[in-house]
């Protein structure tokens, strides 16, 4: 009779532990799949954030008018779009950025317009590999291809965003290519970590099974009670080891194996909260980067368009109260032509410094190559005359200490405040400020001519 009980107890323990080990293996496989999905989602958000921002900054009407001759001769139209593409390439980690439009000769096909690649650019009118994401973008919806596309330039994951004209019609697409090997390697490494984690958990579980079976064989403790306690302990232990190894905390795992279960759970709970906090910080960072003009440190056009929507909603709800200042740099094209775009970028950055000093980076937006706008709300507003004088004073102060060989700030601006009784939308206030800015610019060029030379 005793012999039968020993056999039954060992068999029961092994069955329960085998079930736990199979569950552990299944959890490992699920975590591998979830890790891949998480990486793809993060990469997708980053890719679309870059392509959407680039598409916002490109003038759809200008792109629609670009011809093969413009590309070959590198006309001003070509150069303006190329500069935007080049700026994104310089400030982000991806392989290629380019503009595309539907082919006029072949239905359903797409061709290059302007390719930023300085070494082997796609030629104007050259057909590009068709993908589902490209088709969606041509219909107005940004999309990402997570099936690698291979062509003469390599193998890539690509993001596409529509470029619209002033009528809201899609006239082209911005494409951004990311080297597929980089992200496949990241996914592979992450998957390997989880596989190793599962293998270690299985070995530990098997070892525990042997210890438990031996102990039961010696002591003949009550079968049901002991199995239930053991099942709960193994489940908690293997689950904690899985999560700890995924965090790479090897030393802490060893310490926790020696600690009591309640202590391990407390540490694990704290670790999970730390992971959540780090993920929130990362998502916040990604969102911030998506709305930041990386060259100047002010908000970009995407952030500006969101702000306009917010203000228009406040106007409708009778809660609006704001003043806007529109800026346009004087002579940027001449600086780019005479000294190069690196100097032009320095000129833009100097102007951005002045605007940030006056209104703060959070209230300042770069909405074009040489155009900025500041939006002041509530208590931050001042009289129009006060704002104008503060701008002039800050420019004079900056230019007095500008380093030798650098560019002094020269900018035209216009100020307009929201009039509750007559303004029905943000655009009306912007128009007044823009008109005043152009009057300022006309007076500037009347006095100084249409040139701005480098000042020491």
User: What is the distance between the alpha carbons of residues 410 and 412, in angstroms, rounded to a whole number?
Assistant: 7
Which residue ranges form the domains of the chain, and what is each CATH number? 1-289 (3.30.450.20), 301-448 (3.30.70.270)
User: What is the distance between the alpha carbons of residues 332 and 63, in angstroms, rounded to a whole number?
Assistant: 21
Comparison of pLDDT for 450 and 208, the residue scoring more: 208
pTM for this one? 0.41
What value, to the nearest 5°, has the Cα angle with vertex 99 and ends 343 and 117?
Answer: 55
Comparison of pLDDT for 185 and 233, the residue scoring more: 185
Q: Which residues, 6+ apart, have CB-to-CB distance to 196 below 8 Å?
A: 245
C-alpha dihedral sign at 411, 417, 422, 423: positive
Half-sphere exposure of 107 (CA within 13 A, CB side): 0
**Are the C-beta atoms of residues 335 and 452 closer than 8 Å to each other?**
yes
Q: For residue 184, what are its two tokens? A: 């496949």
**Are the C-beta atoms of residues 298 and 356 closer than 8 Å to each other?**
yes
User: What is the distance between the alpha carbons of residues 428 and 306, in angstroms, rounded to a whole number?
Assistant: 17
User: What is the distance between the alpha carbons of residues 306 and 312, in angstroms, rounded to a whole number?
Assistant: 10
Helix (H, G, I), strand (E, B) or coil at 393: helix
Q: What confidence tier does 151 reach under pLDDT thresholds 50, 70, 90?
A: low
Comparison of pLDDT for 244 and 34, the residue scoring more: 34
Q: For residue 191, what are its two tokens? A: 């998957």
Q: Which residues, 6+ apart, have CB-to-CB distance to 183 below 8 Å?
A: 39, 43, 157
Q: What confidence tier does 204 reach under pLDDT thresholds 50, 70, 90?
A: confident
Give the single-character DSSP code of 296.
Answer: T
Phi, psi at 299, each rounded to 5°? -70, 155
Name the percent of the chain lying above pLDDT 70: 69
**One-letter-per-residue 3-state SS of 314-362:** HHHCCCCCEEEEEEEECCHHHHHHHHCHHHHHHHHHHHHHHHHHHHCHH
User: What is the distance between the alpha carbons of residues 90 and 171, in angstroms, rounded to a whole number?
Assistant: 25
- In tens, the pLDDT along 368-390 reads 989 999 999 988 888 999 999 99
pLDDT at 94: 83
Altogether, the residues listed in the chain come to a count of 456
- In tens, the pLDDT along 21-37 reads 677 667 667 766 776 67
Residue 146 has pLDDT above 90, yes or no: no
Residue 15 has pLDDT above 80, yes or no: no
Q: Which residues, listed in sequence order, are joined to residue 323 by a DSSP beta bridge?
A: 376, 417
With tokens 């697409």, the residue in question is: 173
Q: For residue 293, what are its two tokens? A: 């003009």
pLDDT at 279: 56
Residue 263 has pLDDT above 90, yes or no: no
Q: What confidence tier does 150 reach under pLDDT thresholds 50, 70, 90?
A: confident
Q: Cβ of 4: how many Cβ atoms within 10 Å?
A: 8
- What pairing do the DSSP bridges indicate for beta strands 322-329 and 364-366? unpaired
With tokens 């992971």, the residue in question is: 275
User: What is the distance between the alpha carbons of residues 317 and 299, in angstroms, rounded to a whole number?
Assistant: 25
- What pairing do the DSSP bridges indicate for beta strands 322-329 and 110-115? unpaired
**Are the C-beta atoms of residues 160 and 186 closer than 8 Å to each other?**
no
**Are the C-beta atoms of residues 178 and 157 closer than 8 Å to each other?**
yes
Q: Which residues, listed in sequence order, are joined to residue 342 by a DSSP beta bridge?
A: none
User: What is the distance between the alpha carbons of residues 329 and 331, in angstroms, rounded to a whole number?
Assistant: 6
Q: Which residues, 6+ apart, have CB-to-CB distance to 359 below 8 Å?
A: 325, 374, 376, 380
Q: What confidence tier does 240 reach under pLDDT thresholds 50, 70, 90?
A: low
Residue 222 has pLDDT above 80, yes or no: no
Q: For residue 288, what are its two tokens? A: 């911030």
């Amino acid at each position: 009779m005793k012999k039968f009980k020993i056999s039954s107890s060992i068999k029961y323990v092994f069955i329960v532990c085998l079930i736990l080990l199979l569950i552990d293996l299944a959890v490992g496989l699920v975590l591998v799949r979830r890790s891949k999905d998480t990486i793809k989602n993060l990469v997708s958000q980053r890719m679309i954030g870059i392509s959407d921002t680039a598409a916002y900054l490109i003038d759809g009407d200008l792109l629609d008018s670009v011809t093969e001759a413009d590309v070959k001769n590198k006309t001003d139209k070509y150069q303006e779009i190329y500069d935007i593409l080049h700026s994104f390439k310089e400030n982000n980690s991806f392989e290629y950025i380019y503009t595309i439009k539907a082919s006029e000769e072949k239905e359903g096909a797409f061709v290059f317009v302007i390719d930023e690649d300085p070494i082997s650019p796609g030629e104007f009118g050259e057909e590009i590999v068709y993908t589902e994401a490209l088709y969606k973008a041509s219909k107005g919806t940004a999309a990402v291809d997570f099936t690698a596309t291979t062509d003469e330039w390599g193998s890539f994951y690509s993001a596409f965003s529509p470029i619209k004209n002033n009528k809201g019609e899609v006239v082209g697409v911005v494409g951004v290519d990311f080297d597929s090997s980089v992200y496949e390697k990241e996914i592979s490494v992450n998957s390997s970590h989880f596989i190793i984690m599962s293998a270690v958990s299985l070995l530990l579980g098997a070892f525990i099974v042997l210890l438990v079976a031996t102990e039961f064989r010696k002591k003949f403790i009550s079968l049901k009670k002991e199995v239930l306690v053991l099942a709960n302990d193994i489940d908690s232990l293997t689950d904690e080891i899985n999560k700890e190894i995924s965090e790479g905390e090897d030393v802490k795992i060893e310490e926790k194996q020696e600690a009591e279960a309640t202590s391990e759970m407390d540490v694990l709970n704290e670790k999970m909260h730390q992971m959540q906090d780090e993920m929130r910080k990362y998502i916040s960072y990604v969102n911030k980067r998506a709305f930041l003009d990386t060259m100047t440190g002010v908000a970009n056009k995407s952030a500006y368009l969101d702000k306009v929507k917010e203000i228009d909603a406040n106007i409708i709800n009778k809660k609006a109260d704001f003043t806007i200042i529109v800026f346009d740099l004087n002579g940027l094209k001449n600086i780019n032509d005479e000294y190069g775009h690196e100097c032009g970028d320095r000129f833009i950055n100097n102007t951005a410094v002045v605007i940030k000093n006056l209104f703060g980076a959070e209230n300042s937006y770069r909405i074009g190559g040489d155009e900025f706008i500041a939006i002041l709300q509530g208590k931050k507003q001042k009289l129009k005359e006060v704002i104008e004088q503060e701008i002039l004073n800050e420019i004079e102060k900056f230019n007095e200490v500008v380093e030798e060989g650098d560019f002094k700030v020269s900018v035209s601006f216009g100020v307009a405040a929201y009039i509750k009784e007559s303004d029905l939308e943000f655009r009306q206030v912007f128009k007044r400020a823009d008109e005043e800015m152009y009057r300022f610019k006309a007076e500037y060029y009347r006095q100084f001519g249409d040139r701005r030379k480098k000042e020491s």
